[in-house]
């Protein structure tokens, strides 16, 4: 069986020259970033107390995602996140008002829009600086749902312990774009994959570049020939060596970007309201190259009224274990006797 991603991804092909090129590029880009002294303004919309040592914070950027936000918060609360730190980019659909009512959510705003904030990267760096270095953060957008082996039983702190045991400081995870189909849905639930539940089971390209792993493919490649980078790092140990540089898909230092793919991001760019979201993104022009890829998708919608996502590689998503069986991510050996996790494992009976 041919797996979408390498199950182990130990990178035996990285030679001394490869590592030297990574080191040089990291030195060059880090020096450039350190010369950039422009500070970005972020403003708390409600009280934002300091984190405690036991907190597991999640930093995210959002804009008009009220359709997903309740499920997003519920998913990560169950995984053990204790504080949500949000930069809301002028939401007008009730997202900000909903977040303001949540006691575990800190809401921040900025007079600078997403594109001017280097597509949100400066916001994230400012929030990490505000809440503190030398700690683990979950780092996401509000349409991304991290899953990993046994995530229905094991909290994120258990995964962090595994990463630390392997001297890993960030977790790479490819985004799997979910999309709707014409099939009738069965079952019930309040998570987005209960409604929009199809993914591409193959057709991905995985390779190594000098700045990290690259994963491309999926429905956007299949339908629009878009060469979108799908790799992200949703779990990061953030210290003063870290920066986002020129891309959130290639954070600095680059040497940390070659860890095993032990998780997957369920990505709901094409949720039930995708037509409205694409039209808004195309007109707002806050994304890469004037939202060029949104312009292409909007043109298709304008012609036929909807996007027919389903193709030969489409399958219905069932659960995270299915992604292990399909080879999108491997099994993980958790320590069931880890006493540090006794309190955080209590959520499994909730």
290-337: pLDDT as tens digits: 556 667 777 767 776 678 889 999 999 999 999 999 999 999 999 777
Give the chain's largest Cα–Cα span. 58
Give the residue from 299, 200, 211 showing the smallest Cα distance to 249: 211
pLDDT band at 339 (very low <50, low <70, confident <90, very high): low
Mean pLDDT taken over the chain: 87
State the DSSP string of 51-104: PPTT--EEEEEESS-TTTHHHHHHHHHHTT--EEEEEE-S--SSHHHHHHT-TT
For 84-142, write each residue's pLDDT tens digit.
999 999 999 999 999 999 999 999 999 999 888 988 899 999 999 999 999 999 999 99
The answer, yes or no, to whether residue 185 has pLDDT greater than 60, is no
Q: Which of 70-74, 275-279, 335-339, 344-348 has the lowest mean pLDDT?
A: 344-348
**Three-class DSSP category at 244:** coil
Segment (H or E) for 294: helix 288-304
**Three-class DSSP category at 146:** strand
For 13-70, write each residue's pLDDT tens digit.
688 899 999 999 999 999 998 887 678 999 999 999 999 999 999 999 999 999 999 9
The Cα–Cα gap between 77 and 104 comes to 10
pLDDT of residue 301: 72
pLDDT of residue 226: 87
**Mean pLDDT, range 276-291, rounded to an integer:** 64
Q: What is the pTM of this model?
A: 0.88
**Three-class DSSP category at 282:** helix
The Cα–Cα gap between 127 and 49 comes to 13
Asked if 120 and 87 count as a contact pair (C-beta separation under 8 A), the reply is yes
Helix axis angle for 288-304 and 274-284, nearest 10°, is 140
pLDDT of residue 189: 64
Residue 267 is classified by DSSP as E
For 126-137, write each residue's pLDDT tens digit.
999 999 999 999
pLDDT band at 350 (very low <50, low <70, confident <90, very high): very low
Neighbours of 65 (CB within 10 A): 24
The set of residues, in sequence order, having a beta carbon less than 8 Å from that of 76 and lying 6+ positions away, is 58, 84, 138, 146
The Cα–Cα gap between 287 and 196 comes to 24
Query: Which residue in the block uniquely carries the two structure tokens 């400066």?
Result: 122
Tokens read off for 339? 């006493």
Give the residue from 124, 83, 81 showing the smallest Cα distance to 105: 83
For 136-154, write each residue's pLDDT tens digit.
999 999 999 999 999 999 9
pLDDT of residue 272: 75
pLDDT band at 182 (very low <50, low <70, confident <90, very high): confident
Segment (H or E) for 17: helix 16-35
The answer, yes or no, to whether residue 7 has pLDDT greater than 50, is no
Q: How many residues does the chain have?
A: 350
The answer, yes or no, to whether residue 349 has pLDDT greater than 50, is no
């Amino acid at each position: 069986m041919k797996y979408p991603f390498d199950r182990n991804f130990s990178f035996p092909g990285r030679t001394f020259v490869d590592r030297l090129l990574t080191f040089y590029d990291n030195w060059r880009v880090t020096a450039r970033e350190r010369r950039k002294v422009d500070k970005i303004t972020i403003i708390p919309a409600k009280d934002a107390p300091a984190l405690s040592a036991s907190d597991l914070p999640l930093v995210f950027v959002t804009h008009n995602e009220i359709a997903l936000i309740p499920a997003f918060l519920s998913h990560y609360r169950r995984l053990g996140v204790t504080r949500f730190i949000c930069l809301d980019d002028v939401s007008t659909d009730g997202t900000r008002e909903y977040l303001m009512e949540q006691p575990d959510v800190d809401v921040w705003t900025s007079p600078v829009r997403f594109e001017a904030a280097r597509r949100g990267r400066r916001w994230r760096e400012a929030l990490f600086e505000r809440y503190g270095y030398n700690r683990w953060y979950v780092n996401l957008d509000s349409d991304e749902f991290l899953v990993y082996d046994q995530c229905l039983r094991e909290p994120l702190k258990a995964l962090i312990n595994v990463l630390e045991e392997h001297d890993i400081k960030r977790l790479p995870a490819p985004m799997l774009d979910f999309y709707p189909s014409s099939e009738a849905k069965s079952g019930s639930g309040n998570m987005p994959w209960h409604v929009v539940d199809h993914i591409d089971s193959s057709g991905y390209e995985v390779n190594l570049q000098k700045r990290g792993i690259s994963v491309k493919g999926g429905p956007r490649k299949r339908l629009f020939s878009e060469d979108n980078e799908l790799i992200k790092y949703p779990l990061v140990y953030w210290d003063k060596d870290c920066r986002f540089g020129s891309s959130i898909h290639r954070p600095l230092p680059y040497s940390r970007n070659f860890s095993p793919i032990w998780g997957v991001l369920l990505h709901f760019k094409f949720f039930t309201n995708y037509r409205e979201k694409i039209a808004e993104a195309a007109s707002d022009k806050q994304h890469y190259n004037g939202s060029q890829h949104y312009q292409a998708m909007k043109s298709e919608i304008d012609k036929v009224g909807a996007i027919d996502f389903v193709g030969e590689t489409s399958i219905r998503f069932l659960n995270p274990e299915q992604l292990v069986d399909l080879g999108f991510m491997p099994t993980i050996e958790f320590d069931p006797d880890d006493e540090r996790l006794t309190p955080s494992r209590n959520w499994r009976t909730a």
